[in-house]
Amino acid sequence: MSVPANPKVAKVNEVSEYKNFYVWQLPIRIFHWVNFTSGLILILTGLYIAYPFLSSDSLHADGFLMGGIRITHFITGFVFTLNLLFRLYWFFMGNKYARSNPLTPKFWKGVVKYVKYYLFIPIKKEEHVEHNQLAQLTYWLFFGLGSIAIVLTGFYLFFEPQLNSGVGSLFAWVPVVFGKTAFMVRSWHHIIAWILVLFTLIHFYMSLRDTWLNKNNTIWSIFTGYKKVSKDFKGD
């Protein structure tokens, strides 16, 4: 006669199969939330600058509101840029999970592998705590190059009336890359902003998906720094 399993013992055994593994250092988590907050403010203020949907009977009140929105947008742009420079610094100073190297064959083999995975082609999955190579590639393209492009076009538009000034001259070349006219630079600034918004939504969905399917606390790790891994996991 078999003895019924004790649910309390089963629960203990199940929990003991996993452990918390420290991945995201505090500077990375701070960067993430500063990036998200400043990005949100930039999008909201940028939308108002492009489409001022509030109005009043007073021209001076309208001018004051738009002026305040523009100042907020510009100051937040500087914060966004400084935060991006800090992330570049921590790329070299942080732990191995703070960086990736797309210039290696191993990286691109991983990209191909996870393209197959998302196309529902069977692959041999390995446990890891960092972003997979396909995710890393999208971060390089969107959060990396996209952020640089939004900063360059943004600073050009900020200094456009005084491109002959000392600092302004540093961005005078931007139209050569983004369309030769201020109008094209502004258009690219808006397009890239919407691309970053779309990618942020996809990033959030994929984080939720990873947390749900792999039970690894991906969402919570950006708050705590810890992911859940198997008890035998030693690191990537």
Assigned domain for 8 exists: no
3-class state of residue 229 by DSSP: strand
In a domain, 12, yes or no: no
> Is residue 125 one of the residues assigned to a domain?
yes
Does residue 13 fall inside a structural domain? Answer: no
Residue with tokens 């446990």: 127
| Nearby residues of 18 by Cβ (< 8 Å), 6 or more positions away | 228, 229, 230, 231
Q: Which of 178, 181, 182, 184 is nearest to 149 (CA)?
A: 178
236 in a structural domain: no
If you search the block for the tokens 């590639």, which residue do you land on? Answer: 137
Which CATH number belongs to the domain containing residue 153 in this structure?
Answer: 1.20.950.20
* Domain membership flag for residue 85: yes
236 residues of the chain, pLDDT tens digit each: 444 545 444 443 444 588 889 999 999 999 999 999 999 999 999 999 888 876 555 444 555 788 889 999 999 999 999 999 999 999 999 999 999 899 999 999 989 988 988 888 887 777 778 888 888 999 999 889 999 999 999 999 998 877 777 788 888 899 999 988 889 999 999 999 999 999 999 999 988 988 888 788 888 999 999 998 888 777 66
CB neighbourhood size of 87 (10 A)? 21
Q: Is residue 4 part of a domain?
A: no
Q: What is the residue range of 202's domain? A: 20-230
User: Is-above-0.75 flag for pTM?
Assistant: yes
Q: Within a domain: residue 10? A: no
Question: How many domains, in total, are found in the chain?
Answer: 1
**Residue of 36, 83, 25 whose CA lies nearest to 224:** 25
Mind listing the pLDDT tens digit for each residue in 175-221? Answer: 999 988 889 999 999 999 999 999 999 999 988 988 888 788 888 99
